[in-house]
Structure 1
Amino acid sequence: MHKHILIPTDGSETAQRGVDYALALARDLGAKVTVLTITDPYSRVGMTARASWRRSDEEMDEFNRRQKDAADKVLNKVKVDAGKVGVDVALVHVSEARPAEAILQTAGARGAHLIVIGSHGRRGVNRLLLGSQTAEVLARAAVPVLVVK
């Protein structure tokens, strides 16, 4: 039934509850697991429509390094958690993407049979945005979605 589980996570406490649940489920079902984290696009906050803006190579290199480091930290924690319960995981980082879109594309590309996702992540405005991303995944997914509170 659920032979391949996709677990999107941003490393938040709420996402971790989804990770823990999904890893236990994968262990019990003997399912394959793909863990996904998505990092934010480069922000243009504060830019006006008329402002000329060009990212320097150094600025982009630093931004990309920070994003990769953050993603690696999230993914490596899940890999350790998975090892503790005896589950092998494939790790995927998608950069500069909207979370819902990246989750749906990864589920399709990787052949996931189930998506297990936390109800929301982060705090404040980002919590609302990621909550809306979870709602979008629920509305658009071609496979079952299990939301963990």
Structure 2
Amino acid sequence: MYTRILIAIDGSDLSLRGLEHGLSLAAHLGAKVDIVTVSEPWAGGMADVQGWAVGYEAGPEYRAEREQSANAILQPALDRAAEMEVEAEPVHVLDRYAADGILETALERGSDLVVMTSHGRRGLTRVLLGSQSAEVVTRSTVPVLVVR
């Protein structure tokens, strides 16, 4: 049914539940998996407040720090996939909003299912923080499995 599953994670405990669900499904189906984490764009206005030099996001330190953070999220996920005997590839999307990075990766990788989690926020909290999972569900051209 599904041969290539994209699993979106951000390192949170909640996203790790989605990872487990996605990997279990992949193991059951014999599907390949792409595990994606997205680093959102740097908020330049905060750079000055935090003491970073202007243009920090254009420098090599910026990319190295983002890659290091992504690897800290992706490596344990890849280790878990290997334990479950699921073929998995890591994907780090830099400087994109989560929903955009997930949707673009699903298209590029030919995913036929996206697995992700949702905090289930409502009301003002959702308005202020947004809902990346709702945006993925709304815009995706392939099925999306949302784990809560």
Whether the 8 Å CA contact 2:56–2:62 is kept in 1: the answer is: no
Q: What corresponds to 2:111 in structure 1?
A: 112
Q: What corresponds to 1:97 in structure 2?
A: 96
Mapped to 2, the partners of 1:67 and 1:54 lie a distance apart of 17
Tell me how far 1:41 sits from its aligned partner.
Answer: 1.2
**Under a length normalisation based on structure 2, what TM-score does the superposition of the two structures give?**
0.85
Quickly say closer, same or farther: Cα 1:60–1:120, change in 2 above 3 A: farther
Mapped to 2, the partners of 1:47 and 1:28 lie a distance apart of 46
Mapped to 2, the partners of 1:56 and 1:115 lie a distance apart of 33
Quickly say closer, same or farther: Cα 1:145–1:45, change in 2 above 3 A: same
Whether the 8 Å CA contact 1:8–1:116 is kept in 2: the answer is: yes
Q: Unaligned 5+ residue runs, structure 1?
A: none
Q: What corresponds to 2:27 in structure 1?
A: 27
Aligned-pair RMSD on alpha carbons? 2.4
Q: What corresponds to 1:13 in structure 2?
A: 13
Q: How many residue pairs are counted as aligned between the two chains? A: 139
Mapped to 1, the partners of 2:71 and 2:78 lie a distance apart of 10
Matched, 1:64 2:63: yes
Matched, 1:78 2:86: no
Q: Unaligned 5+ residue runs, structure 2?
A: none
- Percent of residue pairs bearing the same amino acid type: 39
Tell me how far 1:45 sits from its aligned partner.
Answer: 2.9
In structure 2, what residue type is equivalent to 1:5? I
